[in-house]
A and B are shown apart, each in its own frame.
Chain A
């Protein structure tokens, strides 16, 4: 039990090279699936043991922090770990047929290798209590992501440029991040997050610290596609293999949001004026712009995956908005939406993957009239779309409810109105798809492949979960609320109760 935090990372990290070395597609898939499920089980165990507010601190290799690397699990990152490993568990069964149809067979083993590494990286980012370690894991996940995106070249050569663009942007982001860390190290002489928090609080404000903060902000901003640093995302999401898009959309940005929250609230602390000002005067307007601009762009997309990608940029806007309220309720909304959006967007990208499997295209024009011959996929898409809009009884509604409540709590009701106004844009792009699927006539000549159950079941699983958490939001909301408490209580409660 006590080694769970280490196992969480080591398991997928070790499994990845085995996949590559054995090299047989079926084996690689089997191993990756088992590892994903095992990781999910570990995350659940971790979550259950920290749900009451305890904090697990694990010293890697027996070296005590702040010198050694520390893994630190509280409600928030246990929740994030659960999102990452849970989504992987859903994506893996789906990947079997989807990857087989989109990638050449010689690449399958490498695909699962990269996939596992990516997952390792994301979970490492979430679990570690060491700022530099965050950077290392962030790079592990990013590098493997570049490879994964590039593998989309089997279906569309543009995946290569998309991956290259992502590589450039991602590396710039990582560089900014590590420069920021360097400056923080200059001021404090430590890289352990708990230590950083205390030293920063003790040393007070300085120009170096401000620079460090800004670099970190921009670096993570690039990773999480904060508007206007989102340019890599639409291409990467559109051309990556469907399983990868599903995985990235539901986990990578969420983990980056987590890092942002961790740095903003746990390390820099809640009462650091420079940060508060940045959040309210820069991040909040940017989040609002993202919500509108990206949604508007989504309306005009010709490609389904691209449309969903822009919608993701907009949804990241919601999460950043919740964060920039700097209140407990706002953070709760952010965390809840991280979870809900993972389910919804995961399901939607899976539906897009099913369409690609069936007609080998994700162009909206090619999907006309599919509602009648692909009833399950189409219905799933509509269900996910309703969640995206935030119709009651879907998870999206819960997110929006809390976000708006947070706005009303501050008496910022113009912002509340903007939130609803932007979800109207979602109505437009979702309904456009509804019309295409159900009210257009199927082309005379059509060549539609039946979608296998291994793809349908995970998709419906995610979307039914999204309905479940829309009907009975108690679990998610209480977890998110505790996580928000941990962040707001900041340094004091979080860092001292552990160990």
Chain B
């Protein structure tokens, strides 16, 4: 399969799904079925592109020229393949989960929900396949706009306020900083192509390299780098499938993915490490990791706690980039995968708890673990993966990031990563502990040491909710054991200029 149109098929598949779904408002069963089928088809198409990529066929397709020199172009490269596979693969799982959740929670406007959800996947895939910064920006903005109705879904005053924060920060940073940085880059170099080894080398002084990097780092608001992280907790008013797929995977990963792409293919890792332009970013990411973890400790709302955890985990990727060496990049790319699987599980578990019991706060979860054993078991596995314990995928991320810190000579960062792990333990494991080991809240004062807990009847959320989150929890384990292949794959990310091309 070497036809480059396969990229377009993968891109258009979710859009087509959205179109069909929009016609099926009156037939909810058909609509939900189509949504799942669309997800499967999209994943299939992405796998075909992956296969083509693994075979070594360079796939690239240019649609048209918008302005002289600025084209809409899609090109496959390793990092994009990782992101595309993760986003489209997890879409299947969340599509199934959404059916259970949206019905279980009795949400309105479900058709609009599925339409926007599918369009968001097109946005994410567009970002993954973008061959130049301009194309990436178009899909980046599209992703912001189509996810807005999802955040505002409930249309309550809180939902409106949250959605307003969401759109204003994401659109604001992208227009104010990201676009400025893009046009600046364009006026410096005359190109926006993602080029191995970067395009900026030799066009910019070290001081301005730092400034431009700052514009990019803050402009990509989706990466939720502090202090532009407020939109992510605000987005938690959305229905949980949105938080799960978009605000743990597609949207936020689009952000850090964009940063990685810019660091590798626009600046070039060489330029960053040579000039030390990314040093400040490293410290900011480290601060972001710790501060948001500490905030997470104090959140009683389960989804808010997970959101702050996401901010902290995203900063790992930024950190990996800012360290500007190969291990850092690999650690960052791995984090895109491992955190995606882990966090999507955590969110789906939170949603399952909500559907089954309508409880949203950590302090209300006492004893629920024995009522919902699968959900809580999956939650615990995913939490351990985020913490970074073997044999779970998250362990490798920390491993490579620590290697990278050592290589860059910043041993302090190893300490930061370890403290972060401890903080993860402190804010995630109590949730499992409450579920499994605390007596249900109305039976407080009950002496656990002498008497046995009363038997609890199992009352899980609908299977549509529970099965997907068990699958992703297993995925966390599988990731640990497939690291060899993944590492091999990520080594393909070209960090140096291609031979024969002068930077």
Closest chain-A Cβ to B136's Cβ sits at a distance in Å of 10
10 pairs from A and B in contact (CB 8 Å cutoff): A400-B179, A405-B186, A409-B187, A416-B183, A420-B176, A424-B172, A439-B163, A472-B64, A474-B65, A477-B68
Please determine whether B176 and A424 come into contact, CB atoms closer than 8 angstroms: yes
B164 at interface, CB cutoff 8 A: yes
Please determine whether B179 and A398 come into contact, CB atoms closer than 8 angstroms: no
Chain A residues, Cβ within 8 Å of B172 = 424, 427
A376 at interface, CB cutoff 8 A: no
B67 at interface, CB cutoff 8 A: yes
Please determine whether B164 and A477 come into contact, CB atoms closer than 8 angstroms: no
Please determine whether A413 and B67 come into contact, CB atoms closer than 8 angstroms: no
Which positions 396-431 of chain A face chain B at CB distance < 8 Å?
398, 400-401, 404-405, 408-409, 413, 416-417, 420-421, 423-424, 427-428, 431
Bitwise interface map of A from 469 to 496 toward B, beta carbon under 8 Å scored 1, else 0:
0111110010000000000000000000
Q: Give Cα A202–Cα B172 distance, bound, in whole angstroms.
A: 51
B141 at interface, CB cutoff 8 A: yes
Q: Give Cα A416–Cα B184 distance, bound, in whole angstroms.
A: 9
Chain A residues, Cβ within 8 Å of B152 = 438-439
Given A431-B167, A435-B164, A474-B65, the answer on whether A386 and B183 have CB atoms closer than 8 Å is no
A389 at interface, CB cutoff 8 A: yes
A392 at interface, CB cutoff 8 A: yes
A391 at interface, CB cutoff 8 A: yes
Output the residue of A413, A420, A421, A431 with the most chain B CB within 10 A: A420
Chain B residues, Cβ within 8 Å of A431 = 164, 167-168
Q: Give Cα A401–Cα B187 distance, bound, in whole angstroms.
A: 11
A393 at interface, CB cutoff 8 A: yes
Chain A residues, Cβ within 8 Å of B160 = 435, 439
A346 at interface, CB cutoff 8 A: no
B171 at interface, CB cutoff 8 A: yes
Count of chain A residues near B, Cβ 8 A = 33
Please determine whether B67 and A474 come into contact, CB atoms closer than 8 angstroms: yes
Partner of B67, one of A404, A439, A473: A473
Please determine whether B180 and A392 come into contact, CB atoms closer than 8 angstroms: no
A390 at interface, CB cutoff 8 A: yes
Beyond contacts A392-B138, A405-B186, A420-B176: 12 other A-B pairs, Cβ-Cβ < 8 A, are: A392-B137, A392-B141, A398-B66, A413-B180, A417-B180, A420-B177, A421-B176, A424-B176, A438-B152, A439-B163, A474-B67, A474-B68
Bitwise interface map of B from 441 to 469 toward A, beta carbon under 8 Å scored 1, else 0:
00000000000000000000000000000
Q: Give Cα A328–Cα B149 distance, bound, in whole angstroms.
A: 41
Chain A residues, Cβ within 8 Å of B66 = 398, 470-473
Chain B's closest residue to A426 (CB) is: B175
B145 at interface, CB cutoff 8 A: yes
Partner of B141, one of A391, A398, A401, A405: A391
Chain A residues, Cβ within 8 Å of B163 = 439
Closest chain-B Cβ to A486's Cβ sits at a distance in Å of 19
Chain B residues, Cβ within 8 Å of A386 = 145
Please determine whether B67 and A477 come into contact, CB atoms closer than 8 angstroms: yes
Chain A residues, Cβ within 8 Å of B134 = 392
B155 at interface, CB cutoff 8 A: yes
Closest chain-B Cβ to A405's Cβ sits at a distance in Å of 6
Closest chain-A Cβ to B68's Cβ sits at a distance in Å of 7
Please determine whether B67 and A398 come into contact, CB atoms closer than 8 angstroms: yes
Q: Give Cα A269–Cα B68 distance, bound, in whole angstroms.
A: 29
Which positions 36-85 of chain B face chain A at CB distance < 8 Å?
64-68
Q: Give Cα A471–Cα B168 distance, bound, in whole angstroms.
A: 25
Q: Which 9 pairs across A and B sit closest by C-beta, in order of nearness? A: A408-B187, A392-B138, A404-B183, A420-B176, A473-B67, A424-B172, A439-B155, A439-B160, A427-B171
Output the residue of A386, A408, A472 with the most chain B CB within 10 A: A408
Given A424-B175, A424-B176, the answer on whether A471 and B164 have CB atoms closer than 8 Å is no
Closest chain-A Cβ to B200's Cβ sits at a distance in Å of 14
Q: Give Cα A468–Cα B238 distance, bound, in whole angstroms.
A: 33
Closest chain-A Cβ to B354's Cβ sits at a distance in Å of 23
Please determine whether B67 and A401 come into contact, CB atoms closer than 8 angstroms: yes
Bitwise interface map of A from 80 to 103 toward B, beta carbon under 8 Å scored 1, else 0:
000000000000000000000000
Chain A residues, Cβ within 8 Å of B155 = 439, 441
Chain B's closest residue to A470 (CB) is: B66
Bitwise interface map of A from 228 to 256 toward B, beta carbon under 8 Å scored 1, else 0:
00000000000000000000000000000
